Amino acid sequence: MNYKEINKLSVNELNSKLSEERNSLKKLKFSHAISPIDNPLKIRGVRKLIAKIKTSLRSKSLSDSTIKK
């Protein structure tokens, strides 16, 4: 997912996507610890996706708080 797609999602959808990606990251790390996965760059991609989602959530929360003031 790119940032434009992430930015279109609602806060509830972002929170659910964040939990899904965190679970995916845990599974990837666990499987990589047991036996090396074919493409370890998948871990980096999932970490970056989590960061993008968290950035979008923070941006939305800040914009909501400035509107309410």
Average pLDDT over residues 17-32: 97
pLDDT level of residue 9 (50, 70, 90 thresholds): very high
Position 9, amino acid: L
Structural domain count, the chain? 1
SS3 per-residue string spanning 7-62: HHCCHHHHHHHHHHHHHHHHHHHHHHHHCCCCCCHHHHHHHHHHHHHHHHHHHHHH
Taking residues 30-36, what's their average pLDDT?
Answer: 94
The CATH number linked to 8 is 1.10.287
Euclidean distance between CA atoms 65 and 3, whole angstroms: 22
Q: What is the pLDDT of residue 69?
A: 59
Residue-range definition of the domain harbouring residue 19: 3-68
Dist. CA 27–CA 6, nearest whole Å: 22
Rounded average pLDDT over 45-67: 92
Indicate whether this model's pTM tops 0.75: yes
Residue 44 has pLDDT above 80, yes or no: yes
- Could you tell me the pLDDT band of residue 32, with boundaries at 50, 70 and 90? very high
